[in-house]
Amino acid sequence: MAELNQLLTEVVRREKSRVVAALVRRVGSIDAAEEAFQEAVLAALPSWRQGLPENPGAWLTTAATNHVRDASRHQRIVAAKSPLLAVDAMAQPELPDSF
């Protein structure tokens, strides 16, 4: 496990700037790119226990890109559904005149 952590640390140090720069070009946000890279590193820990991929930088780039795509999809769904939730919250249930 310590060896995996050391390898991951070296890969992160070597690849972070390149991966984050590529993500910033795609999404236009440094914060989103940084977050996606961190999520990719977290995903690498269990996945890389079986062995380091041939191209760790490409693996991290793909995982981070997938995270950005999934987060964007989630935001679009939330934006589309929020008005529906607001309408439901404003609706008052009809109460009977007496119990």
Model pLDDT, residue 23? 94
Residue carrying structure tokens 């070009």: 25
pTM, to two decimals = 0.74
Tokens coding 83:
């008005």
Tokens coding 68:
């950005």
- Please give the average pLDDT of every successive group of 10 residues along the chain, which has 99 residues: 82 93 92 94 89 91 94 88 69 67
Q: How many CB atoms lie within 10 A of CB 11?
A: 19
Q: Measuring CA to CA, which residue among 76, 50, 44, 46 is closest to residue 63?
A: 44
Q: How far is CA 72 from CA 2, 11, 76, in A?
A: 34, 26, 6
